[in-house]
A and B are shown apart, each in its own frame.
Chain A
Amino acid sequence: MKKITVYGSGCRTCANTKDLIRQTAEELGVEVDIEEITDTAEIMSAGIMSTPGIALDGEIVHAGSQPTREMIAGWLGK
């Protein structure tokens, strides 16, 4: 199972990002564990300056915007 962490302060783009990841994973039939980190200090310590940031199995793969469906599919290995 892939573990995806969404770093965001709870804004709309961040919420949309989480929804899009969940939706894409469902469509592709990939099981994911989505974790959300909203604490500013924690987000910063992870090295993320523009939100939403996304980590795949602990490694940061994206930051600063809502990812596209294609990008998410790529992370999920499809």
Chain B
Amino acid sequence: MFELFTRLADAVTWQMLGLVPGSQWGESVHFFVEDTLKIFTLLILIVFVMGFLRAMIMPERVREIVAGRSRLVSYPLAVGLGAVTPFCSCSSVPLFIGFLEAGIPLGITMAFLIASPMINEVAVILLAAILGWKVAALYVSAGLLTGILGGLLIERLKLEKWVEDYVWKIRMGKVFVPEPDTSWKGRLAFAKKETREIVGRIWKYVLIGIAVGALLHGFVPATFLAEHASADNPLAVPLAALLGIPLYSSASGVIPVVESLIGKGVPIGTVLALMMSVAAISLPEMIILRKVLRPQLIATFTTILFFAFVGVGYAFNMLFA
């Protein structure tokens, strides 16, 4: 399906730039050119189509849907809807307060906040297009599982005491629920705007991801990774998860790195642990959440996620060895 991009990259790298196939720089540049063309084409296409379909749901609706249901239903619902709810990270705080204000338990609110940045429809389709539906399905199930487990644990530990006091005092009036314009014209305008906004926001992360993927592809020998990052090395998964915590990127931006690592034979669980960790936890997000969460809860939340990623990583490495 993507042969066109390979041929274009062939032409640019070998003919125009005169690099040698099989050389380190040659292979790196080839990966970079091919992935830049491929990923940006796909990204623009996916964001536009999803915007046109308006295949998403506003957080206000999620709040209405999840509030007052039994935990058996609300946990899967919260993480599932988290995947198709777009919100910019600066909305995390009002969203968090809005959920609690509707009487949604802290655990379920956190489950939603964990799953939402990790799984989004654009990243999932991109992952499926590049690495196949199997990897995409695994990533989604890993994300959903982490969200539910993380939320349940926060609930069990009764961490409400570590939510800032003022949060519990806020009373919302009638909540404004945005109504999307679903006419053809409205859809088209929205799709264009979404494409500009989303691609405008994440292109840097994607480009950095491609560059990292390209360097890994060209310069890091598969034997090195086989030795240090294989399933035989029990430290590889925790290291991958740890490495991703301070790193910040959108889920789509990690995909080229994932592609490169899988191409080098790094096991799927290890790679997914890294991808989840980069997408789910980041310093800017923690700073934003600090407005509503005490440092103890942020630390606990990060620790829980770390162990969840490690658990999921090991499990997948075992299942798909």
A and B co-occur in one complex: yes
Interface residue ranges, A against B (CB under 8 Å): 8-14, 40-41, 43-51, 53, 60, 62-66, 68, 70
Contact with A40, one of B58, B63, B89, B291 (Cβ below 8 angstroms)? B291
**Nearest Cβ in chain A — how far from B127, in angstroms?**
25
Verify if B259 is at the interface (C-beta below 8 Å from A). no
Q: Which residues of B contact A66 (CB under 8 A)?
A: 193, 197
Q: Which residues of B contact A62 (CB under 8 A)?
A: 178
Q: Which residues of A contact B170 (CB under 8 A)?
A: 40-41, 44-45
Query: Given that A44-B170, A62-B178, A64-B178 are known contacts, is A49 also in contact with B98, CB under 8 Å in the complex?
Result: yes
- Let me know if A64 and B171 touch, CB within 8 A: no
Verify if B321 is at the interface (C-beta below 8 Å from A). no
Verify if B90 is at the interface (C-beta below 8 Å from A). yes
- Let me know if B175 and A9 touch, CB within 8 A: no
Q: List 27 A-B contacts (CB under 8 A).
A: A14-B90, A41-B166, A44-B101, A44-B170, A47-B172, A47-B173, A47-B174, A47-B175, A47-B176, A49-B91, A49-B94, A49-B176, A50-B58, A50-B87, A50-B91, A50-B94, A51-B88, A53-B176, A63-B60, A63-B178, A64-B58, A64-B87, A64-B91, A64-B178, A68-B189, A68-B190, A70-B189
* Chain B stretch 8-65: residues in CB contact (< 8 A) with chain A: 58-60, 63
Closest to A11 in B: B90
Interface size class of B (residues with CB under 8 A): 20 to 34
User: Which 6 A-B pairs rank lowest in CB-CB distance, beginning with the nearest?
Assistant: A11-B90, A49-B98, A60-B176, A47-B173, A50-B91, A47-B175
Q: Is the interface of B mostly helix, strand, loop or mixed?
A: helix
* Chain B stretch 165-217: residues in CB contact (< 8 A) with chain A: 166, 170-176, 178, 189-190, 193, 197
Q: Which residues of B contact A68 (CB under 8 A)?
A: 189-190, 193
Closest to B288 in A: A9
- Let me know if A49 and B175 touch, CB within 8 A: yes
- Let me know if B171 and A43 touch, CB within 8 A: no
Q: Which residues of A contact B93 (CB under 8 A)?
A: 9, 40
Q: How far is the CA of A58 from the CA of B98 in the complex (A)?
A: 21
**Nearest Cβ in chain B — how far from A70, in angstroms?**
7
Q: How far is the CA of A62 from the CA of B166 in the complex (A)?
A: 26
Contact with A13, one of B90, B101, B171, B176 (Cβ below 8 angstroms)? B90
* Chain B stretch 56-98: residues in CB contact (< 8 A) with chain A: 58-60, 63, 87-91, 93-95, 97-98
- Let me know if A50 and B60 touch, CB within 8 A: yes
Additional 19 contacts, C-beta under 8 A, given A8-B90, A49-B97: A11-B90, A13-B88, A13-B90, A40-B97, A41-B170, A43-B94, A44-B101, A45-B173, A47-B173, A47-B174, A48-B94, A48-B175, A49-B59, A49-B63, A49-B172, A50-B58, A51-B88, A64-B91, A68-B189
**Nearest Cβ in chain A — how far from B198, in angstroms?**
11
Residue of B89, B90, B291 with most partner-chain A CB within 10 A: B90
**Nearest Cβ in chain B — how far from A42, in angstroms?**
10
- Let me know if A45 and B94 touch, CB within 8 A: no
Q: Which residues of B contact A43 (CB under 8 A)?
A: 94
- Let me know if A44 and B59 touch, CB within 8 A: no
**Nearest Cβ in chain B — how far from A10, in angstroms?**
8
**Nearest Cβ in chain A — how far from B180, in angstroms?**
10
Q: How far is the CA of A12 from the CA of B87 in the complex (A)?
A: 13
Cβ proximity bits B270-293 to A, threshold 8 Å, 1 near / 0 not: 000000000000000000000100
- Let me know if B98 and A44 touch, CB within 8 A: yes
